[in-house]
Structures are given as C-alpha cells and as structure tokens.
Structure 1
Amino acid sequence: MTSTPRRSELMGLSALVTGGSRGLGLLLSARLAQRGCLVTMAARDEAELRRGAAWAEERTGKKFSTAVCDVRDRQAVDSVVRQTEARHGRLDIVIANAGVIQVAPVASLDSGAFEDAMDTIFGGAVNTAMAALPSLRASEAGGRLCLIGSVGGLLAVPHLLPYSCAKAAVGTLGEGLRAETAGENLSVTTVHPGLMRTGSHLQAEFGGRSSREFAWFSALSGAPIVSMDADRAAERIVRALERRRTRVVLTPAAHAAAVAHGVAPAMVTRLSGLAARLLPAPPATPGDADAIGHGIQQGHDIDRSASTWTEKIRKLGSGLNDRAARRYNQQIPGPPTSA
C-alpha cells in the first residue's frame, strides 16, 4: 500500500463502507483510515468481517469498527447507519459498495438471477443512500456519498447481464441524487470501475458451463493489460471523494468502451454480439457431459482440475487475480485448493 498524504480534509471524519470486509471495499476502508477517518466496515458475514478488520488494522495501524448487515434489509441498514453515527457522533462519508457478480449466458439463467442482482446491488445502494442522506446532510464537514457502479452499467456485457442491469440502475441513482442534492451540503460521487484485480472471481457465481465461465472471467479480470490493480483503484476512488468529483470511470479500457458506446451504441452492441460468440455456449441438454455444474456455483466451489481447456485459459491471466484473492480476504479459510 502506497504512502498517504500527510494532510487530508478527510481527517477525523466518520465513514461507513458497505461490502467492506473484502476486495475493493476492504481496500477502500484501509485507504480512508490512512487519511485519518473513523471507519466502520459493514458486511453480511461476521467471521469475514473479523478477518477483514484484522487485515486492515495490521496494515494501517488503525482501529476499525464492524457491523454485520445485509444491505437488502432496509431496517438493518437503517440500524447500522444510526449506530455508526452514534458511535462517532457524526457520519460524514458513506460508500455503497456491496454487490454480487453472476457470470452465465442468459439461456442458463431465470428471472431470479436478475432479482437477486437488483436486490443486492441496486436495492443495497438505495437502502444505504436513503438511510444515510439525513446524516450526510447534517454533516458539518459536508457529507460525501459514493456509489460503486461499473463499466458493466455503462454498456451491457455478455454473460454478465443481471450484473450489468443492476449496475446501470446504480449509475442512474447516482446521477439523479447528484442532481437533486445540488446546492446542498452534500456531494455524490458515482464510480464506474472496469476490470480490477480484487480476487472477486472466487466470490462470483457461475452458471451454464460453470468451469468454462470461471476460466474466462478469472483470466480476463486478472490480465494486467486490461485490468487494474485494486489498491490503485481504491486510492483513485478516495481521491475522487476528497475532491467531490461527480463521476469517475476507472481503467483506459473502461473509458474507451464507455465513449464508444456513447458515440456509436449500435456498433458496440454488434461487437458485443461477436464477443459473446467466443464465450462458452450454454449446455445443449441437462445431460451434456461437457457442462460441468448446471446450477449456479461460487468460484470457490468450481472444480478447476476437471477440464484441461479450463485450466489453460484460466492460467493465461488469473495469476495476479489469485494473489489478490489471498491478499484481500476473498478466500475461504481452510486447506489449500488445487488452484
């Protein structure tokens, strides 16, 4: 983790980060603490929160508060916001980061996948923002709200359709809140990261030919040319919060994709269609022997030794991502896997 500026206007502010126990949320929590913030990390899994807090405390020398919270539960989010404000006497910064990633061809999904993505990603962002807005408006330092979207919300990504739909809604929420709070003692920053090496491939959910979906996703999201170091991404996001920027798109590839979609959306859609043909096809029948794992499987549970093709593709770019998973609390504690 790189050095932090000696002085920051965030010093002494109270911050709440949802999805703060691992990956990008964990790094954002650490970066805020380095700037002198009093950080509360919120996530669903209590054991994961403890490990994340221990990781952050070891690397920053700061103390962190934790809160077990499912962002889909509006009352639970309201409670965490009140507790955070009561603990520190204020609430100045809120980052809505919690989410889920589902990777599968649409033919292997049902409407439940879209509902789950919308409930967690968009519903979680709405619950967090609406619960926090009164406190952020009352902040003497001027409240800061940050919503973590995605380049997948700026254009539809094949085999990530539920995720793209939910992230698009988050982007609209950020723009709308920014417009409606203009002139108030509050800033809203919406961040659209491209691919980042956070180790999220182990926490993502895969359907269809799940081992092959895991292979391409883990390889691409870990490739150094097209993906971004997660720690650098966290630093860029916190700087954007400091400067009260409205919109941030991370990675050159994400910038290029967003601009191209804005200028020539039909062409980008055609190119996406061509890209989709290169991705694993859905199982032809439930008995298709090549379809490893017809139901949704988490990356942790994928049998990576079951397919030579899968392992070769995965190893092309996932080495950095595997290391990120070990560093950023993405792995489930236990004996080593075959990866």
Structure 2
Amino acid sequence: MAAMDRSAPDGLSALVTGGSRGLGLLMAARLVRRGYRVTVLARDADELDRAVAWILDRTGRSARPMVCDVRDEAAVTAALRQAAQQTDGLDLVIANAGVIQVGPAETAGTQAFRDAMETIFDGTLHTALAALPYLRRSAAGGRLGLVGSVGGLLAVPHLVPYSCAKAAVRALGEGLQEETAGSAVSVTTVHPGLMRTGSHLQAEFGGRSEAEFAWFSALAGMPLLSMDAERAAVKIVRAVERRRTRLVLTPAARTASLAHAVVPSLVTRANGLAARVLPAPPLDGTAGQPPQRAPFRQGHALDASAGPAWVRTLRRASSALNDRAAHRYNQRWAGPPTTS
C-alpha cells in the first residue's frame, strides 16, 4: 500500500472524468494519494467498481464512483452538482474522457468525426462549463485541467477524427485560460504524446482494422516513443496543481510540436511520407468510387499478428510493456497480461 503524500492540503476535492481506466485512473489515484477527496466519472458501472477497488488497493483510500456519460450535458451538470454536494465543493477538475479511432479518414466517414467530437470535445466542454462555477467558489482557488493531445497540435495520419476533436480541446483550453485570467481559477491544457496505458485494447479501428491495430499497438508501446503512464499522471497532476497553462509530454511530442510551429509545411510533408507506409484504405474495385467503409472494431477483438514484417518486429519489441499496462490499468481485467 502506498503512503499518502502529505504535502497536499487535506480536505480539497477533485473530480476526474474518464477515470475508470488508463490515464484517468492513474490521475485519480494520484489525487487520492495526494489527499484529495476524489470523484471518478465514467460510463461503465462495472468498470468504475473495478477502478475504485484498484484505487483503494493502491492508496489505502477510496474514491467516489459516479456513472455519467459526458456526451450528455444535463447528466454532466447533475453529476458535478452531486459531487460538489457530497464533497463540499470542487477544487480541482480534470476533463479526461475520450475515444481513439484509428484508420483512414475516408473509411471512417462523417459519423466517426461526430463520435470523436461528441466524446472528446463535447465531453470536455460540458465538464469545463459545469465545473467553472464551483471552481470559482473554491477557497483554495479552483484548478481546471483539460487533457488534449499532441494530435491536437498537429494532425496525425489515420487519427484525423481524434486530431480534429483534440484541436478543439486545445482552443477551448486556451480560450478559457484567457477568459479566467485575473481570477482565482486556473486552466491547464495537457498535450500528451504516446503513453503506455494499454489504450490500444479499447481504441477503435477502421479500414483494414487488424493491420491498423498492429501498427498502432506497436508504436504505442515503444519505449523511446511512448511514456510510462504512471509518470505521466504524476506530471499532469503536478502541472494542474501548479497552475501551468500548458504541458506537452514526451520528448517526441515536444519535438513534433515545436517543428510544426516553426515549419508546419515540412511536418505535414513528413507525415504524408509516414502515411504511405500505413495500411491503405480497402477499395471496392470500382474506379472512382470511395473506399469501403466497415464498422470500427475495438482492439481487444483484433489479431495483433497482422501487418508487414516491420510492424511485427516493432510489436515484439513493445508488446510486453503495453500489454502489461493494459492489464494493470483496468483496460483488460480478466486473464494474465499478454507478453508476446
């Protein structure tokens, strides 16, 4: 059992959306360990129960689970009201809920973009606007954290719906920071790069779904490209507590962000070259017709052995770290972690 960090004042309250697994779970646990009274929001009640048990086992203290779909504005407003009543206000809120969709934009179709915007951007917007009145009343000065992505700072091929939604989160965070300037409320927008959270099993894959899953799961676990998720959670909570305006995580993400800011056309061309080695959209065989569209499939239902030899080699190098993360962070609860 980990000891609680006594450097944080006791009695403060926090809320994390998308807190039942992965990065959200780790941030919730970090806040509990710091001494906050934490409410965890997520859509799945069973997943929430496992998350609360995980936090209790790791920290010796419990968090409050609350089922809520962040796409529903009324539900978010009611959930934050209830959380504030139960914890005598809200002092820190992190909007983290999201979805990852992987595949060519052409095969994704407009619905994938709508789904990404509803979960990632609308969910963040609903949470932020519902939280601000409580954060303004916080005696400690309210802190709002919005989890964006390096994909919101520059477009990533085969993650275009995700990038569009995260770009909107970036603009929201910057705008709210500007509008709360001079008040007791701070807004921190976080842009992580790849992290070893095991999210590849919960991500959704379109187009040639098994080949898409193979490359995404391989890169997501690479030690030199991805970051340990627990370390990322510590850095994010610290940045929100210290009222930093912006945090970009992983050296690769910072390098890509800086390069895009200085020479955006060069970065776009480089990403275009990278896209050429990614799985091509499945064609219907008719000239001039758009690629075939198939339903997105979740990673846990896909075969990771698909893809070219270079992808399989990367996967062998990274699978142990990423698949173990999935097992540890409530992305996949049943069965032993996969290491091959």
User: How far apart in 2 are the matches of 1:264 and 1:125?
Assistant: 30
Which string of whole-angstrom CA distances, capped at 9 and with x for unpartnered residues, describes residues 61-119 of structure 1?
01110000000000110011011000011111100000000000112111000000000
What amino acid sits opposite 1:264 in the alignment? V
Q: Does 1:36 align with 2:35?
A: yes
User: How far apart in 1 are the matches of 2:162 and 2:77?
Assistant: 25
Q: Give how far 1:286 is off.
A: 7.7
* Counterpart residue number, 1:323: 324
* Counterpart residue number, 1:70: 69
Q: Give how far 1:26 is off.
A: 0.2
Contact 1:221 1:318 in 2 (8 A): no
Q: Mind listing any 5+ residue stretches in structure 2 that lack a counterpart?
A: none
Q: Give how far 1:317 is off.
A: 1.9
Contact 2:320 2:339 in 1 (8 A): no
What amino acid sits opposite 1:329 in the alignment? N
User: How far apart in 1 are the matches of 2:324 and 2:93?
Assistant: 28
* Counterpart residue number, 1:258: 257
Q: Does 1:304 align with 2:315?
A: no
Q: Give how far 1:316 is off.
A: 3.2
What amino acid sits opposite 1:176 in the alignment? G
Written as runs of structure 1 = structure 2, the 5 A alignment for 1:270-285 is: 270-285=269-284
- SS of the residue aligned with 1:94? strand
Contact 1:304 1:338 in 2 (8 A): no
What amino acid sits opposite 2:208 in the alignment? R
CA change 1:172–1:47 in 2 (3 A) is same
Give the count of matched residue pairs. 335
Q: Does 1:149 align with 2:148?
A: yes
CA change 1:85–1:190 in 2 (3 A) is same
- SS of the residue aligned with 1:325? helix
- SS of the residue aligned with 2:276? helix
Q: Give how far 1:315 is off.
A: 2.2
Q: Does 1:177 align with 2:206?
A: no
User: How far apart in 1 are the matches of 2:339 and 2:179?
Assistant: 51
- SS of the residue aligned with 2:182? coil
Q: Give how far 1:214 is off.
A: 0.5
RMSD: 2.3
* Counterpart residue number, 1:131: 130
* Counterpart residue number, 2:57: 58
**Sequence identity of aligned pairs in percent?**
63
Contact 1:69 1:76 in 2 (8 A): yes
* Counterpart residue number, 1:7: 7
CA change 1:317–1:30 in 2 (3 A) is same
Q: Mind listing any 5+ residue stretches in structure 1 that lack a counterpart?
A: none
Which string of whole-angstrom CA distances, capped at 9 and with x for unpartnered residues, describes residues 11-31 of structure 1?
321101000000000000000
User: How far apart in 1 are the matches of 2:168 and 2:185?
Assistant: 21
* Counterpart residue number, 1:210: 209
- SS of the residue aligned with 1:47? helix
Q: Give how far 1:239 is off.
A: 0.8
Contact 1:71 1:123 in 2 (8 A): yes
CA change 1:256–1:313 in 2 (3 A) is closer
User: How far apart in 1 are the matches of 2:5 and 2:285?
Assistant: 56
Q: Does 1:94 align with 2:93?
A: yes
* Counterpart residue number, 1:27: 26
Which string of whole-angstrom CA distances, capped at 9 and with x for unpartnered residues, describes residues 295-315 of structure 1?
310001113356685655532
- SS of the residue aligned with 2:255? helix
What amino acid sits opposite 1:125 in the alignment? T
- SS of the residue aligned with 1:51? helix
Larger mean Cα displacement after TM superposition, 56-65 or 302-311: 302-311
CA change 1:199–1:67 in 2 (3 A) is same
